[in-house]
Amino acid sequence: MSINFKLNFTVSERFLRYVSIDTQSDPSSASIPSTEKQKDLGRLLVTELTQIGVNDAHLDEYGYVYATIPANTDKTVPVICFCSHMDTSPDCSGANVKPIAHKNYNGDDIILPDDRSQIIKMADHNDLKNQIRNDIITASGTTLLGADNKAGVAEIMDACYQLINHPEIKHGTIKILFTPDEEIGRGVDKADIKKLGAFAAYTMDGESAGNMENETFSADGAKLTIHGISVHPGFAKGKMESAIKIAGLIVTMLPFELSPENTEGMEGFVHPVSIEGHVETATIDFIIRDFEDANLVKHANAIREIADEVLQEFPGSTYELEIKPQYRNMKSELDKHPQIVEYGMEAIKRAGLNAKLCSIRGGTDGSRLSFMGLPCPNIFAGEHAFHSKQEWVSVQDMQKAVETILHLCMIWEEKS
């Protein structure tokens, strides 16, 4: 079945509402969610879902929003879920976002008014060449926009509105999940998979229109703790072994070919993200990424070998390296159920786009959901330059994402 009726899209209006709510997550917080303000958006979403007739919409104590759109077909259709995260990145301020709609984009530079040094140029943003005559939404120059992932949230919300208002779209039971804390790696820590009861899920958290991602990095975190020797600096000759300086030497010896700034495509990396310490003790936190799990071990060993080499010059000092798994490449789980990706690609094509299957140099909630028993590829949401003041999204791309969701609902019903 094609969508042969005119959709009254609500996605851009929803998006503009949602980005005005500060939902930045906090990696230093131990609470769940990491910031209470994420629940502000969750409460609004529950209110809006209830208003359009989704009767079981609710926000739980951990900041997750759950909802169900009941089946409207006599067929037995697998339950599918659509998921997006509500939080924004700690990398850039998400407070007092002032979204600006740039109508009928003509290819010129977009100068953001609150910081005119922030200029969005086609030369720097490749997908802008596909946006001529489209409407581009940006922030004003002093904050991120929040398209990652409020574009996905708005798309799923609009799709719910369309499903309720167009009963001619036949579908099975549809579950909705909005999560907190994805940006700090905790997005599904408290997700209730049993409550969802779904066979498959789709995160709406990708970039260019038409893209679908069935493969992510596998990811580990690594903490290197260095124990030096602290001595009064006035009497330190031949005695002091500074953990701070040892840490600096280790970082400078990391191979450039393993750095994120020198890798692309299917290449993995080792990335030091923070250093803290004193003369006696210092720690370096790393993230380790690769598409092959076995390479994570190789990358961790590279850190260990460098530490061993450096500490040969500091015989009184020691170190420990702690490795913690974070998430794994979802492709191995998705390959067990190929129809999940096949139906997604078909839905993108039915929305009138060129479907492209991609790998993502990162992770999504779907990475972990796939290993929790809910296989979950990632579909484009139209977000670009995420985590930055130059973040932008196209209204027309968001509308195509809504159409893709609706086609997916229909395809699962058709194929059952």
Active site residues: 87, 182
Report which of 64, 19, 45, 2 is spatially closest to residue 160, judged by C-alpha positions: 45
Pairing of strands 174-179, 356-360: unpaired
Q: Are 389 and 118 in contact (CB under 8 A)?
A: yes
**What's the rounded Cα separation, in Å, for the pair 364 and 366?**
5
Asked if 168 and 5 touch (Cβ cutoff 8 Å), the reply is yes
- CB contact set of 342 (below 8 Å; sequence gap of 6+): none
DSSP letter for 110, please: E
Q: At what angle do helices 147-165 and 11-19 cross, to 10 degrees?
A: 140
Instruction: Dump strand ranges (E) for 183-235.
Output: 200-206, 211-216, 218-227
What is the H or E stretch that residue 38 is in?
helix 38-51
Q: How far is CA 146 from the centre of its chain?
A: 11
- b/e map of 97-129 (b: 16 or more CB within 10 Å)? bbbbebeebeeeebebeeeeebebebeebebbe
Angstrom distances, CA of residue 317 to CA of 97, 137, 228, 257, 311: 48, 53, 5, 28, 7
